[in-house]
Amino acid sequence: MDPFTLAIGALSIGIQAYGAQKQVSATKDYANTVNPLYAAKSQQDIRIAGNEQKISQQNQNWMELQSHRQSLQNLRKAQQASSEAKATAASQGALFGSGAKGGQAQIKAEEATNQAALSQGLQVGRNIFGYNTDITGARIAQYGIETNINQAESNYKVSQAEASGFSNIGKSLGSALSLFKSA
């Protein structure tokens, strides 16, 4: 085989090796660029979820405060109704009659019913806030998992590019070997 053909064969091998090396380099550059971005995005997602959780906690605090205020208001209304009923019964001379006692019992029953409704509403609100807290915690964990998956995918691409590059070099060397054998 003439020297020109050998030179072209060697040049071909060199160009293929250079191309394989560039492929590996580009994939590594991609991974080095993308992995920090995935990590930064995950940190922002975690920060947002954390702030959502803080807002949820503030909403729960507000709900607890409102429930306490409504309980006090319920008690005040019941006391006021009881006082008015006693005053009315006293002015009519029936303070110790069965009608006054029945009216007082009705006022107490209404107070208890209202208080039970407030307590049930408060418990439902607490349950909702508990579920929201669990969801936020799961979301934060999910962001960490997504970051790990993204980094693993980038690392896989780097490994795949390196393997492909070495495979191409091997093919080139095999072609060159057959070229040299026929010379």
The residue ranking higher by pLDDT, 129 or 158, is 129
Residue 177 banded pLDDT, cuts 50, 70, 90 = low
pLDDT tens digits, one per residue of 63-119: 999 999 999 998 999 999 889 888 888 888 887 888 888 888 898 999 999 899 999
Dmax (CA) for the chain in angstroms is 134
Provide the pLDDT confidence category of residue 14 given band limits of 50, 70 and 90: confident
Q: How confident is the model at residue 176 (pLDDT cuts 50, 70, 90)?
A: low
Where on the phi/psi map is residue 146: left (φ > 0), alpha (ψ -120 to 50), or beta?
alpha
Q: Can you spell out the DSSP letters for 11-41?
A: HHHHHHHHHHHHHHHHHHHHHHHHHHHHHHH
How many distinct structural domains can be found in the chain?
1
CATH number, residue 44: 1.10.287
154: containing domain: 3-181
Task: Give the pLDDT score at 126.
Answer: 92
Which residues are CB-neighbours of 129 under 8 A, at least 6 positions away?
56, 57, 59, 60, 63
Q: For residue 179, with 0-12 CB atoms within 10 Å meaning exposed, 13-18 middle and 19 or more buried, which class applies? A: middle
Average pLDDT over residues 128-143: 89
